[in-house]
Structure 1
Amino acid sequence: MAEAMTDEQTGFLDETLRRLVGMLAPVPRSGVLPSDTLIGGLGYDSLSLMELAFNVEDLFGLDSISMERSVAIKTVADLTAFVTDEIAEGRGTMPDSEALAEKFGEAGGY
């Protein structure tokens, strides 16, 4: 089992996921809240959820998210908890500044 994440890492993870969720939402938006629902509140459908899953897997170095595990992810907070658990269990990693710049299109980092 990997070391527990610091408060700073947890905050960074939350911010990164909220930004990614907002960027990939069918109607992109900023100001995504942890309580926002993916389906309904943010307008995700099955195709856009798959795109989000692929991006989360890629950014955090996760194995494919199984259907069984994905059905429990209803809110942004659920997604954050899932990724946090995966990293804590050593099944994922925090992205580096290069990966963030590539994902969010910022040459200067996140």
Structure 2
Amino acid sequence: MSDDDICRIIAGALPKQSARNGISPDMSLRGDLGIDSLGLMSIVFVLEEQAGIDAFSRVEEFVGAESVSDLIAIVRKS
């Protein structure tokens, strides 16, 4: 799965307004995309389903994620 594939999955889990211009790995989850903790968990569930990762075993990593690239790195480690 490429970085672009993971970005598309993340964008699909975001409200349309947040994802309207697309997302890139260098974007901040909170600052650029306005994602709160509930939004982050929604993204994690979608990543688990579509990327086939075990999100439960990586909860602390996901909670500490600050950017799209952090999420990509977590998915890649799974």
TM-score range, shorter chain: 0.7 to 0.9
Q: How many corresponding residue pairs?
A: 75
Q: CA RMSD in A?
A: 1.7
| TM-score normalised by the chain length of structure 1 | 0.58
Structure 1: 5+ residue runs without aligned partners? 1-11, 87-110
Higher helix share: 2
The alignment-based identity, stated in percent, is 35
Where does residue 60 of structure 2 map in the other structure? 68
Superposed, 1:41-56 pairs within 5 Å as 41-56=32-47
Match of 1:58 among 36, 49, 54: 49
CA positional deviation for 1:64: 2.6
Return the index of the structure with the highest Cα Rg: 1
Superposed, 1:8-47 pairs within 5 Å as 12-26=1-15, 27=17, 28-47=19-38
Where does residue 102 of structure 1 map in the other structure? none
Where does residue 93 of structure 1 map in the other structure? none
SS in 2 for 1:71: helix
| Structure with bigger RCO (C-alpha 8 Å, 6+ apart) | 2
Verify the 8 A CA contact 2:62 2:74 in the aligned structure 1: no
Which amino acid is 2:45 matched to?
Answer: F
